[in-house]
Amino acid sequence: MLGAPLVGICAGAVALAIGQTAFAMTRSAILRAAIAAAFAIPAAVAGYHALLVMSQIGVPSLAWRQVFAYLGAAFIGATAWTRLTVFAEPRPSESGRLMENTSHSVLTAAAREG
């Protein structure tokens, strides 16, 4: 009874780590968008259904339930997209030239400050 949630949490953490790694290692913008969409679209669908069910508790109007569900889907999908892309370093826009990256990652800068 306690094992299933733990396995689900571990599987989700591993999938997120693999997705972030694949996103960070890929140079193609199209492939990056596809990887991010593979995480953001299911999250948006789950957010839509979760907010639609929760809005049935206190919102009598079907139209307002749909509005809340669509807003929830947009915010949750955007959050999933952002969480996947937040630690990826931006790639140089010039493909033919090597550019030295002098910026520090968010994680490194946070470790130095705190």
The predicted-structure confidence for 1-54, as pLDDT tens digits, reads as follows: 788 999 999 998 999 889 888 888 888 889 988 998 999 999 999 999 999 999
The pLDDT-based confidence of 72 (bands split at 50, 70, 90) is very high
**C-alpha span between 98 and 102 (Å, rounded):** 13
Average pLDDT over the chain, rounded to an integer: 82
Residues 85-112: what's their mean pLDDT? 57
- Write down the number of H helices and E strands in the chain: 4, 0
**Cβ neighbours of residue 70 under 8 Å, at least 6 residues apart?**
48
pTM: 0.67
